[in-house]
C-alpha cells in the first residue's frame, strides 16, 4: 500500500482482497438456501400443509438472491474501477461484508414470519444499512483518489445511481410497521428498476 513496495506485490494484495470479497458474496448468496427448512417426520397431509406454507420461504429466498445479486453486481463494477486499497478501505469493506453476510438471517425471518411487521422492519434495516455503507464506501474511494484515472468519470456517476436503494429501504420501515406487504412491494420496485434502466441502456449499444 506504501510507495516503497513493488508493483507485483501490490497487485497480489489487491487481487486477494477482491477474491476474498467475491468469495464472501458467493458464500452468502448460496447460504440463502439453508433458510428453507424441511421438517422431518410429517404425515401425509402435514407435508402438503408444509409445502403450501413454504411458499413464503421460497419467495424470501428469491428476493434475497436478487438483493445480494444486485449488491454483487454493483460491487463487481466498483472494484473493477479501483486502482488500490488503503487500510481504512479494507476495514470499511469488512463492515460492509458483515451486513451482506447477515442478510440470510432476516431472510429466514421473513420467510417464516412474512406477515409480521417485525420481520419486514428488520429486513429493511439490514439491507438498507448494507446499501448505505456501500454508498459511503464509494464516497470514501472517490475522496481518497483510489479510482483508476480511466474509470474516474464512471465512478463519479455512481453516487447519483446509488442513493435510491438505501433511501427506499429505510423509507419502507415506517410503511412496514403499518403493513409488511406494502413494505415488501416497495423493495420489489427498487429491484426491478435497474432492469428497466439496463434495458433502455441496451438499445444505443445495439444501434452502434
Give contact residues for a second copy (rule: CB under 8 A). Answer: 2, 5-6, 9, 12-13, 16-20, 22-40, 42, 44, 47-48, 51, 58, 61-62, 65-66, 69, 72-73, 76, 80, 87-88, 90-91, 94, 97-98, 101-105, 108-109, 112-113, 116, 118, 122, 150-151, 195, 198, 202, 205
Q: How far apart are CA 35 and CA 58, in angstroms?
A: 9
**Smaller CB separation from a second copy, 42 or 188:** 42
**Smaller CB separation from a second copy, 186 or 194:** 194
DSSP 57-81: HHHHHHHHHHHHHHHHHHHHHHHTT
Tell me how crowded residue 150 is: count the other CB atoms within 10 A of its CB.
9
From 131, 74, 138, 73, select the one nearest 103 (Cα to Cα): 131
Tell me how crowded residue 184 is: count the other CB atoms within 10 A of its CB.
22
Minimum CB separation from a second copy for residue 189, in Å? 17
Minimum CB separation from a second copy for residue 124, in Å? 14
Task: Say if CB 144 and CB 89 are below 8 A apart.
Answer: yes
From 160, 187, 159, 163, select the one nearest 173 (Cα to Cα): 187
- Look at the chain and count its residues: 208
Minimum CB separation from a second copy for residue 191, in Å? 11
**Smaller CB separation from a second copy, 43 or 160:** 43
Minimum CB separation from a second copy for residue 185, in Å? 21
Amino acid at each position: 500500500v506504501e510507495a516503497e513496495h513493488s508493483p507485483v506485490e501490490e497487485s497480489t494484495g489487491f487481487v486477494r482482497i477482491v477474491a476474498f470479497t467475491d468469495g464472501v458474496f458467493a458464500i452468502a448468496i448460496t447460504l440463502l438456501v439453508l433458510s428453507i427448512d424441511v421438517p422431518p417426520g410429517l404425515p401425509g397431509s402435514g407435508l402438503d400443509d408444509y409445502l403450501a406454507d413454504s411458499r413464503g420461504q421460497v419467495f424470501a429466498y428469491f428476493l434475497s438472491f436478487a438483493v445480494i445479486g444486485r449488491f454483487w453486481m454493483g460491487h463487481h463494477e466498483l472494484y473493477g474501477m479501483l486502482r488500490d486499497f488503503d487500510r481504512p478501505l479494507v476495514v470499511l469493506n469488512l463492515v460492509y461484508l458483515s451486513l451482506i453476510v447477515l442478510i440470510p438471517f432476516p431472510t429466514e425471518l421473513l420467510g417464516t414470519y412474512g406477515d409480521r411487521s417485525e420481520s419486514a422492519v428488520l429486513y429493511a434495516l439490514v439491507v438498507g444499512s448494507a446499501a448505505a455503507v456501500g454508498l459511503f464506501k464509494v464516497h470514501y474511494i472517490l475522496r481518497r483518489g483510489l479510482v483508476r484515472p480511466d474509470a474516474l468519470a464512471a465512478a463519479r456517476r455512481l453516487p447519483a445511481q446509488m442513493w435510491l436503494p438505501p433511501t427506499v429501504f429505510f423509507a419502507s420501515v415506517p410503511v412496514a410497521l403499518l403493513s409488511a406487504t406494502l413494505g415488501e412491494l416497495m423493495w420489489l420496485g427498487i429491484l426491478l428498476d435497474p432492469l428497466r434502466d439496463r434495458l433502455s441502456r441496451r438499445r444505443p449499444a445495439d444501434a452502434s
